[in-house]
Amino acid sequence: MAPVFSTIVTRLALRLPALIGVVLVSFALTRLLPGDPAVYFAGAAPTPEAIADLRRVLLLDQPLYVQFLSYVRDLVHGNLGRSLATGQPVVQDLSSRLPATLELTLAAMTLALLIAVPLGIAGARHKGRPVDHVCRLVSTGALALPAFFTGLLLVFLFYYLLGLAPAPLGRLAPMAFPPPERTGFMIVDAALARDWSVLADAVAHLVLPAVALAMAAIGPLTRVTRGAMLGVLSSDFIRAARGYDLPRWKLVYVYALRNAMLPVLTTIGFVFSFLISANVVIEKVFSWPGIGSYALEALVASDYAAVQGFVLAVATLYVLINIAIDILYGIVDVRVRLGG
């Protein structure tokens, strides 16, 4: 347990400068957004006095360094500011929406791994054969399709034409009652409450956005898995292991796959971080109430606090994901030391 804790502390310390850079860049970029938030939120026919009062409340009448120091002071105290659009603290908005984004991202990542890893292994085992051609076709096609196009196509086919999927209106049907919130994950909360009708409804609403998001991950995961397995299967120790007449499944899925997992794990970390950002498009298409749609609405409204909070939340998730990948390195490959 001590090496794991040491690894977490070390990795957090190493990535602290990156988080500081994210704070600086996000603050600077939000100030470059077109429009004036004071004018936007002052009302349909604002008076100059109302605009001036709002600019004074938001510190927009102060120099940039004063605004930045105020932002950093609030950040140190765990205060990300208050969203002008919702009127709620940004921390509260993000914490209420983050489980929806994580539920969708985890479902998409799981689906992508269930398809990409076996497909990549099959393509490596049967190099140059029809299975390998299918593997490369699937990976190329998944990479070529934009997420928003895949989402709209799935809605058109399975909701509009076939009527097999529910309307893309969020996590549950409009008239459904959500289960008592324990984790924020709709499927988990419905299962804990033993509300099977809500569970089925939540799964039905999750399928299409998860498939659309998973398409963005299947391509790189399939290619990396295939390439890593090709390298391992042609290595000397695998050729030596074949001489011991080991079962083929053990040779491929125990010895070869474990040695090919390091580049796959690295890709999983990058892809998972990318999917959290790609949620912005998918959540808008499916009216999914996550942090992606929240950030897009804040961006349109020049809601500085909400945009900065979203960027910082995504950066923090990215750091935590990379720390988890580092720990998995040590579990998969004993040559990788947790404390290194």
DSSP letter for 171, please.
S
Is the residue at 83 inside a domain?
no
Residue with tokens 């912005």: 280
Is the residue at 307 inside a domain?
no
Highest mean pLDDT: which range of 33-42, 106-115, 249-258, 279-288: 106-115
pLDDT at 252: 80
Q: Which of 160, 111, 51 is nearest to 271 (CA)?
A: 111
**CA-only gyration radius of the chain, Å:** 24
What are 169-199's pLDDT values in tens digits? 889 988 888 899 888 899 999 999 999 999 9
Report the number of distinct structural domains present in the chain. Answer: 1
Is the residue at 37 inside a domain?
no
Is the residue at 333 inside a domain?
no
The sign of the dihedral angle between the CA atoms of 287, 290, 292, 297 is: positive
CA 90 from centroid of its chain's CA atoms = 19
CB-side exposure of 103: number of CA atoms within 13 Å?
24
Task: Give CA–CA dist 271/38, Å, rounded.
Answer: 37
Is the residue at 246 inside a domain?
yes
Q: Are 98 and 276 in contact (CB under 8 A)?
A: no
| List of residues 6+ apart from 50 with CB closer than 8 A | 42, 43
Q: Are 284 and 101 in contact (CB under 8 A)?
A: no
Q: Following CA atoms 182, 186, 188, 193 in sequence, which dihedral angle do they give, to the nearest 10 degrees?
A: 70
Distances (CA, A) of 216 to 185, 275, 330: 22, 8, 28
Please report, as a single letter, which amino acid is at residue 62.
Q
pLDDT band at 340 (very low <50, low <70, confident <90, very high): very low
Task: Give CA–CA dist 84/70, Å, rounded.
Answer: 17
The sign of the dihedral angle between the CA atoms of 237, 239, 242, 244 is: negative
pLDDT, greater one: 160 or 148: 160
pLDDT, greater one: 79 or 5: 79
What are 255-264's pLDDT values in tens digits? 788 888 888 8
CA 68-12-95 angle, 5° bins: 65
Task: Give CA–CA dist 177/202, Å, rounded.
Answer: 11
pLDDT at 39 over 90: no
What are 114-157's pLDDT values in tens digits? 999 999 988 888 888 888 888 888 888 887 888 888 889 999 99
Is the residue at 80 inside a domain?
no
Q: Which two tokens stand for residue 281?
A: 């498009």
Range of the structural domain that residue 111 is part of:
98-292
Is the residue at 26 inside a domain?
no
| List of residues 6+ apart from 70 with CB closer than 8 A | 59, 62
Phi, then psi, of 203 in degrees rounded to 5: -65, -45
pLDDT at 274: 85
Is the residue at 102 inside a domain?
yes
Tell me the CATH number at 251: 1.10.3720.10
- Give the pTM: 0.83
Task: Give CA–CA dist 100/178, Å, rounded.
Answer: 13
